[in-house]
Structure 1
Amino acid sequence: MNEGPLMVKTAGYRLPTQRPHVMGILNVTPDSFSDGGRHTLAGAALDHARAMIAEGADILDIGAESTRPNATPVAQEEEWARLAPVLEDVIDLGTPVSIDTYKAEIARRACAAGAAIVNDVWGLQKDPAMADVVAEAGVHVVMMHNRAEADGGLDILDDIDRFFETSMELAERAGIVREKQILDPGFGFGKTIDQNFLILNRFETLKKHGLPLLAGASRKRMIGTVLQAEMADRLYGSMGVHMTAMLKGASIVRAHDVHPHADCVRMLEATRLERDPN
């Protein structure tokens, strides 16, 4: 449903230049792989958003459809019904908000409400209207690599490169300026465990595309497999992956646990600046 020209009230978002940014995850879903159902009520979601801001979140990433493996797809109106009670209140907290969706109409409504970033787990390649919506809104976009199925025999880095080239071409064609494009290799999305760690080990090679990079491995199976840890015990593994990614060039890390990741960023910057943290 198109309701006329898109009017965006957001104050915008500036990509990090001095230090990486922490994107705090706010799921308003009943079936998210990690914290599904915990923040579905508007009041609880808003409280969690406030807590993440206090802990140092630079961005809040709000999503209403789980992207975990084998998750049940959510109809557009159901997705919006989950977002509508909380989205504007979270935006009004003043921290830039990212909308985690691959549906153009959801992105359109969220940007009209004030979202500053569209986080598309299909890199503008799922919904043919998405690139135009992002361009019209003038917001940033995270274009994530994804695959319907993992293929252990695939050259995953080559596949990511070709996927990114397609996403960037779609963005350019729609009029999304390069300064507002962000790339995400998509840890855990259509990849084997070995492929995930190959991507991490070669993360710096993704900088050849000339765009900021996002890393999002928080609590994922790649960590649980190595540590033999259940979901609740994957914090330190998540921090290890994200710190490695930041050392290799990640500008944004997407995490459930904001405070420890914000501390990692502070320590990284103290080290880079050779400054006494005291």
Structure 2
Amino acid sequence: MGILNVTPDSFSDGGRYATLDASLSHAEEMIEAGVDIIDIGGESSRPGAAPVSLQQELDRVMPLIFALRDCGKALSIDTYKPEMMREAIAAGADMINDINGFRAEGALQAVQDVDCALCVMHMQGEPQTMQAHPEYTDVVAEVREFLFGRTSQMQQVGIAPQRLCIDPGFGFGKTLEHNAKLLKNIDALQNDLGFPVLAGLSRKSTIGALTGRPVEQRMAGSLAGALAAVMHGARIVRVHDVAETVDALKVWQALA
């Protein structure tokens, strides 16, 4: 899954792909590099990020969906707003990737009677405050319990389990220690809950803490993080550096 942020304030590439031409050019690069899913985000979810209006998000995301829906790759829309979900699905989106776990009022209704894929993520708190003082008694058990509760409720309203994947939410209200524990338990989460895990570590503060590198110098660390996630069972890796990750996975899978 390649990241396509059409925001001015994302933590890693904010502003680089804020225009339609720049976004489409980057999408074409990812397609050439071998991306499977393009994850389009119109609102930054970095720690401390301020929310944007529905209209702003629609204005940023909808032109990209219309431009890319016939590109031959799956389109994922990174949003927690039910109205954005409805518009994206009607325009041809293949997946909704919700950092809020479809908890917003109307979110389940927006996705229950369609057939697109859904990614359910765990987040402690909200983007503005989530990294202030994240605390858990047992991070793996608590994330598992949350994801079990959300996926159960979604199935109760008629959403087929085959549509679901889960995301432990690396960096969303977690310390380095929390992220490491979750990473090492990806297989356990998949086995316990029965859904494929999506792992998003690319360029995040965990990589920075381990390497001492600023965000623009975290490619090597991010590649190692993606390989570690796959080694522990992740079925989807969400990354900024598609070509490099594809190459790393090809070599690792051939020689491992």
Deviations for 1:172-213, whole angstroms, at most 9, x for unmatched residues? Answer: 022111111000000000111111111112222112211111
Partner of 2:20: 42
CA distance in 1, matches of 2:250, 2:184: 23
For the Cα contact (< 8 Å) 1:65–1:101, is it kept in 2? yes
Partner of 2:9: 31
TM-score, normalised on structure 2?
0.93
Give the drift of 1:132: 2.2
Partner of 1:56: 34
Partner of 1:6: none
Amino acid at match of 2:66: E
1:127-166 superposed matches below 5 A: 127-148=104-125, 149=130, 150-166=133-149
Tell me if 1:204 matches 2:182.
no
Amino acid at match of 2:124: R
Partner of 2:160: 177
Partner of 1:266: 250
CA distance in 2, matches of 1:79, 1:164: 26
Partner of 1:80: 58
CA distance in 2, matches of 1:181, 1:31: 29
Partner of 2:45: 67
Unpaired runs of 5+ residues, structure 2, are: none
Tell me if 1:238 matches 2:222.
yes
Partner of 2:234: 250
CA distance in 2, matches of 1:69, 1:49: 25
Partner of 2:205: 221
SS at match of 1:160: helix
CA distance in 1, matches of 2:22, 2:224: 29
SS at match of 2:76: strand
TM-score, normalised on structure 1?
0.86
Aligned residues: percent identity? Answer: 40
1:73-112 superposed matches below 5 A: 73-112=51-90
Amino acid at match of 1:160: V
Unpaired runs of 5+ residues, structure 1, are: 1-22, 273-278
Cα separation, partners in 2 of 1:247 and 1:80, compared to 1, 3 Å:
same
Give the drift of 1:153: 4.5
SS at match of 1:136: coil
Higher relative contact order, chain-length normalized (CA < 8 Å, sep 6+): 1
Give the drift of 1:269: 3.3
For the Cα contact (< 8 Å) 1:212–1:251, is it kept in 2? yes
Give the drift of 1:114: 0.7
For the Cα contact (< 8 Å) 2:120–2:164, is it kept in 1? yes
Give the drift of 1:133: 1.7
Deviations for 1:55-97, whole angstroms, at most 9, x for unmatched residues? Answer: 0100000000000001010111111111123221022222110
For the Cα contact (< 8 Å) 1:119–1:141, is it kept in 2? yes
For the Cα contact (< 8 Å) 1:131–1:170, is it kept in 2? no
SS at match of 2:237: strand
CA distance in 2, matches of 1:265, 1:176: 32
1:8-19 superposed matches below 5 A: none
